Amino acid sequence: MDYINVTIRPMTKEDLPSVMEIERLCFINPWNEEQFIYEIEENVYSNPWVVELSNTNSDNVAIVGFCVYWQTFDSATICQIAVHPEIQRRQLGSAMMDEIINDCYAKRVQTLTLEVRKSNTKAINFYLKHGFEQVTVKEKYYTDGEDAIYMTRRVDIF
């Protein structure tokens, strides 16, 4: 019998072709490769991870999602979280979010924050499902003038 293994692990430069594809498919203003390299190699506050799927009876491994979050002292900010559009709604984003929350809890982070486009109701609902609350609207936050919703979540609440 074949099983699918889900692994969440630190991102490497070798992952960038897959990460960049997902980035382009999921975001209006995608990061470029240099930004991800900075997160992987230089930013000491950054936690870039990937989600990969593999088959127990095969050597095939596919990067299907990623996240980047920054931790400073007792707070953390989710910068990016994405799953390839072809396999969204299969709990991979939730697995990644759970991993972020558990990692933050282990590091004694108290508050997790993020900004999300006001028009991105799918993402807003995802974050609400994971315990985030809408705090305020940041007007004209994005380069195209769209507002962002600022959301927070206490980490010690499961």
Parse the chain into domains and list their residue ranges.
Answer: 4-154
Express as a percent the part of the chain with pLDDT over 90.
Answer: 80
Contact indicator for 95, 8 with CB cutoff of 8 Å: yes
Q: Give the pLDDT score at 158.
A: 54
pTM of structure: 0.88
Q: Give the pLDDT score at 3.
A: 65
Catalytic residue chosen out of the listed positions 38, 52, 105, 115: 115
Q: pLDDT digits over 134-157, tens only?
A: 999 999 999 999 999 999 999 976
Q: Give the pLDDT score at 157.
A: 61
Residue 1: pLDDT over 60: no
Contact indicator for 47, 72 with CB cutoff of 8 Å: no
Q: What are residue 23's phi and psi, to 5 degrees? A: -55, -50
105 is catalytic: no
139 is catalytic: no
CATH code at 4-154: 3.40.630.30
Q: What is the largest CA-CA distance in the chain?
A: 52
